[in-house]
Amino acid sequence: MDRIFFNRMAFYAYHGAYPEENRLGQRFFVDLELGLDLAPAARQDDLNRTVDYGKVYEMVKKETEAGPYALVETLAERIAQRLLETFSLQEVKVRITKPDPPIPGHYDSVGVEITRRRPHD
């Protein structure tokens, strides 16, 4: 299976389980890995046979800036489902990273990663 990558798309949103996250907001980074067959698009040099990167970005932006959701797990699930419903993907991997969560300790970031596949008929 071929892959299209989106790395470290940055958004500001109001998701989180703590009231200050919903009030103050924070940065979120979204990484995607889209699984599909890219051979038809490559052979014919045809955007209509692949995924429009701009449309994917706008969809992720809209979902990320919606909400608020208490869990980044919910955000990741909504992004994955929207992408699978909208595009001819076989699989999607979504990683949501919170670089500045309001929890004590020393770390670079926290986040979740999910993989969802199109159901087989």
Just list the catalytic residues.
98
In contact, 16 and 112? CB cutoff 8 Å: no
Q: HSE of 56 in the Cβ direction (CA atoms, 13 Å)?
A: 22
**What backbone phi and psi angles, to 5 degrees, belong to 65?**
-85, 0
**Spacing of C-alpha 74 from chain mean position:** 11
In contact, 6 and 57? CB cutoff 8 Å: yes
The pair of three-digit structure tokens given for residue 69, joined into one six-digit string = 């959701």
